[in-house]
């Protein structure tokens, strides 16, 4: 359990905003209050096991580059436990309160599910002890239903019932261990729940199977008394060409269509939003409007590049816009900001894990402070309110409560010759936003 995987790194210090110290928090102060709540509780920062511990930084053209001296590259249990020790050392030194994992990140896939489950239990026991010793908590767990060849055509949407059955059993176990570790949530990201060509796909049946799968998960959650929140994570493509959970709107329609809406919130990922042709603030606003903003996979992409680059979110303009939405939604309850992000392949040294997370945490601390200042200033919110002021009339009340009729509106509209339209003042509002960044 005692780990010295990062001997060259001390607990990351808090430094002055103008400090030239390369590794230090310039903005993040966990106990500082913003809008009456500590930064720690606003953000609920998490590091993810799949990128931080398991991503060797290979790409389709090159081999892994990451140096991980604590990891011997094998899948024996001792190595799994040593890796977990290194991870908790990282969390402690980087002042990150939460973590996330897939079942297969922390323990290997064996030849049968029974053997995989037995090894998973051994590693989860170790996680429980580490969590107890360090106070680090599980934000959410999930199952890897996309890496093994059996899932090549999907898991809950596989054309083969044997694959569906295996996925169901794997998810049952993953929910169990998430519950055992006191997880605040459980994520469903359907990487291969979609298709490549309709020539071989029965979309109607696949979507119905996915809904049955999720209903069984809801029922199992209830039966074991797991109080964590279920999240769906939208993404339009990659690895599938067409994914059923493509964006917030598609997820909401799916959940409503199959009676699942009361049981799920959404986990919004920045780069998934941009792949769907949206901004992340669009996706967050769509969730807020429907009351389903649950959690965030915080990363960023390269705008002009069509794949999921999972970069660390380091741009304060991006984080300000995100924090405006998160604050407007009332903040996180069981969700948080999970860095679903990886270092660039060129940033291969262990210390780069720290630089990457600290840059992301500081960017969000700036975003939070800027968003709170924008809200306190009130000019942008006032502008929006005034823009809709005509709706605060008797007619507005009638339309908004669903009492108006087309005939009634026709009587008002038929002879009108002037419409009091107003400038949207986008440039003026951008200018105000930038006062705070
Ligand atoms: C993939 C992705 C996943 C989910 C968890 O793009 O975001 O890592 O967050 O399965
Ligand atoms: Co993600």
Distance (Å, whole) CA 119 – CA 105: 12
Active site residue 304: no
The reply to whether ligand 1 has any atom less than 6 angstroms from the CB of 269 is yes
pLDDT digits (tens, 9 = 90+) for 276-332: 999 999 999 999 999 999 999 999 999 888 899 999 999 999 999 999 999 999 999
The reply to whether ligand 1 has any atom less than 6 angstroms from the CB of 233 is yes
pTM flag (> 0.75): yes
CA of 356 to the centre of ligand 1 (A): 18
CA of 299 to the centre of ligand 2 (A): 9
Q: Give how far the C-alpha of residue 94 lies from the chain's centroid of Cα atoms, to the nearest Å.
A: 20
The reply to whether ligand 1 has any atom less than 6 angstroms from the CB of 55 is no
Cβ–Cβ under 8 Å, residues 347 and 66: no
| pLDDT of amino acid 107 | 98
CA of 375 to the centre of ligand 2 (A): 29
Please tell me whether the peptide bond between 367 and the residue prior to it is cis, using omega within 30 degrees of 0: no
pLDDT digits (tens, 9 = 90+) for 112-124: 999 999 999 999 9
| pLDDT of amino acid 194 | 98
The reply to whether ligand 1 has any atom less than 6 angstroms from the CB of 338 is no
Distance (Å, whole) CA 239 – CA 147: 10
Q: Which of 105, 184, 245, 297 is catalytic?
A: 105
| pLDDT of amino acid 247 | 98
Active site residue 105: yes
Q: Where do the structural domains in the chain lie, given as residue ranges?
A: 33-377, 381-435
Measured from the Cα of 267, ligand 1's closest atom is: 9
The reply to whether ligand 1 has any atom less than 6 angstroms from the CB of 51 is no
Distance (Å, whole) CA 140 – CA 117: 18
Measured from the Cα of 235, ligand 1's closest atom is: 6
| pLDDT of amino acid 110 | 98
CATH superfamily of the 33-377 domain = Divalent-metal-dependent TIM barrel enzymes (3.20.20.150)
CA of 200 to the centre of ligand 2 (A): 28
| pLDDT of amino acid 51 | 98
| pLDDT of amino acid 2 | 77
The reply to whether ligand 1 has any atom less than 6 angstroms from the CB of 189 is yes
| pLDDT of amino acid 391 | 98
| pLDDT of amino acid 275 | 96
CA of 189 to the centre of ligand 1 (A): 6
Question: Other C-beta atoms within 10 Å of 6: how many?
Answer: 19
Question: Other C-beta atoms within 10 Å of 437: how many?
Answer: 17
The reply to whether ligand 1 has any atom less than 6 angstroms from the CB of 44 is no
Going by C-alpha positions, the residue among 68, 89, 90 that lies closest to residue 79 is: 68
Give the residue whose CA is nearest to atom 8 of ligand 1.
340
In this prediction, the residues of the chain whose per-residue pLDDT falls under 50 are none
Task: Please enumerate in sequence order all residues whose Cβ is within 8 A of that of 336, keeping only pairs 6 or more positions apart, or say none.
Answer: 43, 44, 45, 46, 98, 139, 184, 295, 296
**Tokens standing for residue 93:** 């030194």
Give the residue whose CA is nearest to atom 7 of ligand 1.
340
């Amino acid at each position: 359990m005692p780990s010295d995987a990062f001997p060259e790194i001390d607990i990351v210090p808090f430094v002055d905003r103008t400090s030239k110290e390369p590794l230090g928090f310039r903005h993040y102060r966990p106990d500082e209050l913003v809008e009456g709540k500590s930064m720690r509780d606003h953000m609920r920062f998490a590091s993810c096991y799949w990128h931080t511990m398991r991503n060797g930084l290979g790409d389709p053209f090159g081999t892994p580059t990451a140096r991980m001296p604590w990891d011997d590259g094998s899948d024996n249990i001792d190595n799994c436990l040593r890796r977990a020790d290194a991870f908790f050392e990282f969390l402690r030194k980087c002042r990150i309160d939460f973590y996330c994992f897939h079942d297969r990140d922390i323990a290997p896939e064996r030849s049968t599910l029974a053997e995989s489950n037995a090894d998973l239990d051994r590693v989860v026991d170790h996680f429980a002890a580490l969590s107890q010793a360090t106070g680090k908590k599980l934000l959410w767990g999930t199952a890897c239903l996309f890496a093994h060849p059996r899932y090549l055509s999907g898991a809950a949407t596989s054309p083969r019932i044997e694959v569906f059955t295996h996925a169901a059993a794997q998810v049952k176990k993953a929910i169990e261990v998430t519950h055992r570790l006191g997880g605040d949530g459980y994520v469903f990201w359907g990487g291969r729940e979609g298709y490549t060509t309709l020539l071989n796909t029965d979309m109607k049946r696949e979507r119905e199977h996915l809904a049955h799968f999720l209903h069984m998960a809801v029922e199992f959650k209830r039966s074991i008394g797991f109080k964590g929140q279920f999240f769906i994570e939208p993404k339009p493509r990659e690895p599938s060409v067409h994914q059923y959970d493509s964006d917030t709107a598609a997820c909401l329609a799916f959940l409503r269509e199959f009676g699942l809406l009361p049981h799920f919130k959404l986990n919004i990922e920045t780069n998934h939003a941009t792949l769907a042709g949206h901004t992340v603030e669009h996706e967050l606003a769509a969730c807020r409007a429907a009351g389903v903003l649950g959690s965030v996979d915080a990363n960023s992409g390269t705008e002009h590049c069509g794949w999921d680059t999972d970069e660390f979110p380091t741009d304060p303009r991006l984080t300000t816009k995100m924090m405006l939405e998160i604050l407007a939604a009332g903040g996180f309850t069981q969700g948080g900001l999970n860095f679903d992000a990886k270092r660039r392949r060129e940033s291969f040294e262990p210390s780069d894990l720290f630089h990457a997370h600290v840059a992301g945490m500081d960017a969000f601390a700036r975003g939070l402070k800027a968003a709170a200042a924008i809200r306190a200033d009130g000019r942008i919110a006032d502008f929006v309110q005034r823009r809709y002021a005509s709706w605060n009339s008797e007619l507005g009340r009638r339309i908004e409560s669903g009492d108006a009729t087309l005939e009634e509106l026709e009587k008002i509209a038929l002879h009108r010759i002037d419409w009091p339209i107003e400038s949207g003042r986008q440039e003026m509002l951008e200018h105000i936003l930038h006062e705070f960044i």
